[in-house]
Amino acid sequence: MESDHVRVLFSPSGRRGAVAIGTSLLDASDQLGVEIESLCGGRGACGHCQVEIIEGEFPKERIKSCSSHLKQRDLVEETTLPLKEGRLLACQTTLSGDVVINVPRESQVHPPHVCKPARIHKTTLNSKIKLYYIDSALFDSKSELGEAEHLCQLLKTHWRLESVRFDLDLIQLLPGILESGNLSITLAVYDESEVIAAYSGQQESCYGAAVDIGSTTLAIQLCQLNSGDIVAEAGSINPQVQYGEDVMSRVSYLMMHKQSLHKLTSLVRSEIQSLIDQVCERAGIDPSLLLELTFVGNPIMHHLFLGITPLSLGQAPFRLIASDSMVLKCKDLNLKCHPATRGYLLPCIAGHVGSDAAAMVLAEAPWESEEITLLVDVGTNAEIVLGNQSRLFATSSPTGPAFEGAQIEFGQRAAPGAIERVRIDPKTLEPSVKIIGSQSWTSDAHPQSDLDLPEVTGICGSGIIEVIGELYLADVIGADGRFNEQSRQRSSRIILDGKTYRYLLYKNDSITLTISQTDIRAIQLAKAALYAGIRLLMESYGCDRVDRIRLAGAFGGQIDVKYAMILGMIPDCPLDQVSAAGNAAGTGARVALLDSHSRNKIEQVVEQITKIETAIAEGFQELFVDAMAIPHSTDPFVNLNQVVALPDRRDKPVSRRRRRG
């Protein structure tokens, strides 16, 4: 990097890059494709461009972010919007060193509207919460019992609810509720044992929400508890990304700043609160009708959300502090709905296999079938579950963030401007690409005149997988992932780079996007880890093939399963048996919300799952080494070969692995 440039990283978009010293933050955001509100055109007058600096060391980005790296211009006029504490006007602040900048929601032009699709799923309805309407004709105002006890007695007489009690918070409100309903009242009873809410007169519906606490995105589904209908959904970026894009960097951050646990916890909780408020507003319901929430997340998010230190999850033996399911009051999590709103957290499975994986298991119900199902949620840590009605196995594998575009020179998150699909002509080696935000294929050789074509900013995970798969199919790289020396003669897109090569994927005035040997190596390491984890479970189960593969999560929905198999991320399987499971974690959270029996079921299932820790499993290293090859050094991939003509695999190394299990 030129020395008259400084590094800037914008959160939560994750956009980063170098800009000239003296650039204003507003201009820097513009150059890096981050949209910040600026109604006054950067004169310091409107006050809409407020941002904040995140100080600290960010080793992965090689940024030491410090407020002394920012210079503030003297303001000429007073700004219309008052400046919040700790905020700066991006248009009036110039750069003299590296910084990490957070763009708060209200300063974003298009606040990210992440909304994982909620898969339709047949769910038995059996909510923990049921409503009972007690007409004033039933209410005996002369009963010598306390009002609360009299209502409990009516529940017993008329609905056979034997031992119901009132929540204290509710008792405080009871006289007013009875009065304004003229002694007609609707009681919300939790688990046939506790009256947790009451409404004047007759109330037909109450609501619950399923919350998926992802490392990167948070998603919520608001459901009517009596019909099971999803009445609103919302999503947002997990604001913790400013402390590390993946959970492991957040753990590292906490190692250095132990007192910050509380901050990270309240960040995610208040973002969830704002999602709750959003869905209630969209559905037009009063938050006091929201009576239960279910939560899922990976172990580190689970702990961070609960305010439990995740430090023990940062190193072997990756020990959870608490793994069982939990029932609690949402107000104890500082979430405001009804004062008595209950929360249910699904159980975690193991040190790196969270309640999101448990929810995926609940959504997919592999225990119901004879077929061997493989469930994979690809993330920084892939969560893997394999088995059928006879037994289930789970593990996680440290794939790292490469699939999410990190560690890849031009990698970026899946966002407008990212290349997501790649085809390479096997003869000419000319590429065509598809860019997120555009409908059609394009290439730098034949740029489209389309005005709607977003500017290319990088390549996302699915694009990387396809480009490497295509390079392999075109014989540019071998099964070992190395560029074939002779391919340089085939096209000028193969560029010498020191002792190795790069492939030029896209070039225009503003970007020269290449795929380097290092990028390919990073993907190989990631996919080898994933494959080895899967293989470990197959050996534990004692099977050579799986009947069905379900890929969960956003990434599972983006990738083309054929390329995932060409690359050897997943084992061989009939392609029509491989499919995306959508937001299986969110679906599972919803199942747990709507069907209380499913909670007992998943708790039992999780207890019986055999947990395998890749870090200490015997033979994992060998499985890993064998899986470095594309698609694999020894496994045959029979089904795949029927669909795709894989290059001759003569040059495959001899397996150093003895078969086990």
Under the binding rule (CB under 6 A), the answer on residue 48 touching ligand FES is: yes
Cα separation values, 189 from 199, 303, 488, Å: 12, 29, 72
Figure out which of the listed residues 34, 45, 63, 580 binds ligand FES, where binding follows CB under 6 A: 45
Under the binding rule (CB under 8 A), the answer on residue 308 touching a second copy is: yes
Figure out which of the listed residues 144, 370, 509, 618 binds a second copy, where binding follows CB under 8 A: 144
Figure out which of the listed residues 40, 173, 365, 575 binds ligand FES, where binding follows CB under 6 A: 40
d(CA 633, CA 568): 10
Figure out which of the listed residues 1, 20, 39, 125 binds ligand FES, where binding follows CB under 6 A: 39
The interface mask with a second copy, positions 326-345, x = CB under 8 A, is x-x---x-------------
Closer CB to ligand FES, 89 or 589, in the complex = 89
| Residue 75: CB minimum distance to ligand FES, A | 9
Closer CB to ligand FES, 50 or 215, in the complex = 50
Strands 5-11 and 99-102, bridge-based pairing: parallel
State the DSSP string of 399-443. Answer: --GGGGTTTSTTB--SSTTEEEEEEE-TTT--EEEEETT-SSEE-
| Residue 401: CB minimum distance to ligand FES, A | 33
Sign of the alpha-carbon dihedral angle for 410, 413, 416, 421: positive
Closer CB to a second copy, 94 or 395, in the complex = 395
The interface mask with ligand FES, positions 87-126, x = CB under 6 A, is --x-x-----------------------------------
Q: Is the peptide bond before 175 cis (omega within 30 degrees of 0)?
A: no
The residue range among 47-55, 345-353, 481-489, 603-611 that interacts with ligand FES, by the rule CB under 6 A, is 47-55
Under the binding rule (CB under 6 A), the answer on residue 47 touching ligand FES is: yes
Under the binding rule (CB under 6 A), the answer on residue 49 touching ligand FES is: yes
| Partner whose footprint covers residue 89, from ligand FES, a second copy, none (CB < 5 to 8 Å by kind) | ligand FES
Figure out which of the listed residues 11, 13, 23, 79 binds ligand FES, where binding follows CB under 6 A: 79
**Secondary structure element (H or E) that encloses residue 530, with its range:** helix 517-541
Query: Could you tell me the end-to-end alpha-carbon distance of the chain, in angstroms, rounded to an integer?
Result: 51
Closer CB to a second copy, 30 or 194, in the complex = 194
Closer CB to ligand FES, 38 or 639, in the complex = 38
| Residue 78: CB minimum distance to ligand FES, A | 11
Cα separation values, 445 from 68, 430, 448, Å: 44, 8, 10
**Secondary structure element (H or E) that encloses residue 373, with its range:** strand 373-377
The residue range among 45-53, 411-419, 590-598, 651-659 that interacts with ligand FES, by the rule CB under 6 A, is 45-53
Cβ atoms within 10 Å, residue 95 = 23
| Partner whose footprint covers residue 48, from a second copy, ligand FES, none (CB < 5 to 8 Å by kind) | ligand FES
Per-residue tokens: 42 = 């950067």
d(CA 198, CA 212): 28
3-class secondary structure, 638: helix
CB 578 within 8 A of CB 551: yes
| Residue 35: CB minimum distance to ligand FES, A | 12
Selection from 145, 143, 148, 142 nearest residue 178 by Cα: 148
Per DSSP, what are the bridge partners of residue 197? Answer: 188
Closer CB to a second copy, 169 or 191, in the complex = 169
Under the binding rule (CB under 6 A), the answer on residue 44 touching ligand FES is: yes
Strand boundaries in 201-239, DSSP class E: 207-213, 217-224, 230-237
d(CA 73, CA 91): 9
* Interface positions with ligand FES (CB under 6 A): 38-40, 42, 44-49, 79, 89, 91
